[in-house]
């Protein structure tokens, strides 16, 4: 059987909260209905924040939702900025208070694997205030995140984290992508 990647339940909960706040209760129902009946069942009822759900379900819901927008990448960036705000604000408040962006970047791998069980995120310092982050994962939508999450997910989420850590000039760019044939995704963080 082919390996299946998984996404953490809390991501679906954030997506649901975001959709309901942004465009009303039925927007979440519509996103659910974009799934196959079997996948819909997986998310029926209460979604466990700490549970694991198939990543293909995540990919399909994100595609469905963001592609409704004229600019799916911008829509995804907006959602992931919200996610970074909610998540990093509560989760790493203590360390962010220290005001060291490096502290956050070094833990990107750990944080990533709270959300997705596949893919390895590494971070290395290139020079003062410039870091390179890499995501190594197969370019498969059943194993890892699809193009939209990859292209407009980690960058705005981390960027929000940098801002929260007292680095308003922080920028994170997705400079290479597995979905464009690269061996891994690359992100450059600078401030
Ligand atoms: Zn990528």
CA–CA separation, 156 and 164 (whole Å): 12
Burial 105-130 (b: 16+ CB within 10 A, else e): bbebbebbeebbbbbebebeeeeeee
pLDDT tens readout for residues 49-93: 999 999 999 999 999 999 999 999 999 999 999 999 888 877 666
Ligand 1 is an ion; residues with CB less than 5 A from it: 150, 177, 185
Distance 55 CA to ligand 1 centre (A): 16
Residue 73 alpha carbon to ligand 1 centre in Å: 12
At 123-177, the pLDDT tens digits run 999 999 999 999 999 999 999 999 999 999 999 999 998 988 888 899 999 999 9
pLDDT reading at 35 higher than 70: yes
Whole-prediction pTM value?
0.92
Give the integer Cα–Cα distance in Å for 100 and 97.
Answer: 8
**How many residues can be counted in the chain?**
191
Q: Tell how far the Cα of 183 is from the centroid of ligand 1, in angstroms.
A: 10
Question: Ligand 1 centroid vs 2 CA: distance in angstroms?
Answer: 22
Report the half-sphere exposure of 81 (CA within 13 A, side-chain side): 9
Calculate how far, in angstroms, residue 61's C-alpha sits from the geometric centre of ligand 1. 18
For the chain, the 3-state helix, strand and coil shares in percent, each to the nearest 5, are 55, 20, 30
Q: In the prediction, which pLDDT does 44 show?
A: 84
Residues 6+ apart with CB under 8 A from 94: none
Where does the pLDDT of residue 3 fall: very low under 50, low under 70, confident under 90, or very high at 90 and above?
confident
130 or 103: whose pLDDT is higher?
A: 130
Q: Give me the pLDDT at residue 104, please.
A: 87
Q: Quick one: pLDDT at residue 97?
A: 61
Q: Which CATH superfamily is domain 6-190 in?
A: H-NOX domain (3.90.1520.10)
C-alpha–C-alpha distance, residues 155 and 185, integer Å: 11
């Amino acid at each position: 059987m082919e390996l299946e990647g998984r996404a953490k339940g809390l991501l679906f909960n954030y997506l649901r909260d975001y959709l309901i706040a942004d465009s009303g209760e039925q927007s979440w129902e519509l996103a659910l209905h974009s799934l196959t009946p079997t996948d819909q069942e997986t998310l029926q009822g209460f979604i466990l924040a700490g549970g694991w759900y198939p990543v293909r379900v995540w990919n399909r819901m994100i595609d469905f939702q963001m592609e409704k927008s004229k600019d799916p990448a911008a829509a995804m960036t907006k959602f992931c900025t919200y996610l970074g705000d909610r998540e990093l604000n509560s989760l790493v408040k203590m360390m962010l208070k220290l005001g060291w962006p490096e502290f956050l970047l070094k833990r990107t791998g750990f944080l990533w694997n709270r959300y997705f069980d596949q893919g390895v995120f590494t971070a290395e310092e290139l020079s003062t205030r410039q870091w390179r982050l890499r995501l190594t994962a197969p370019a498969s939508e059943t194993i890892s995140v699809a193009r939209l999450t990859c292209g407009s997910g980690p960058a705005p989420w981390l960027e929000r984290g940098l801002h929260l850590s007292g680095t308003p000039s922080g920028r994170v760019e997705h400079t290479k992508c597995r979905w464009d044939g690269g061996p891994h995704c690359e992100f450059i963080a600078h401030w």
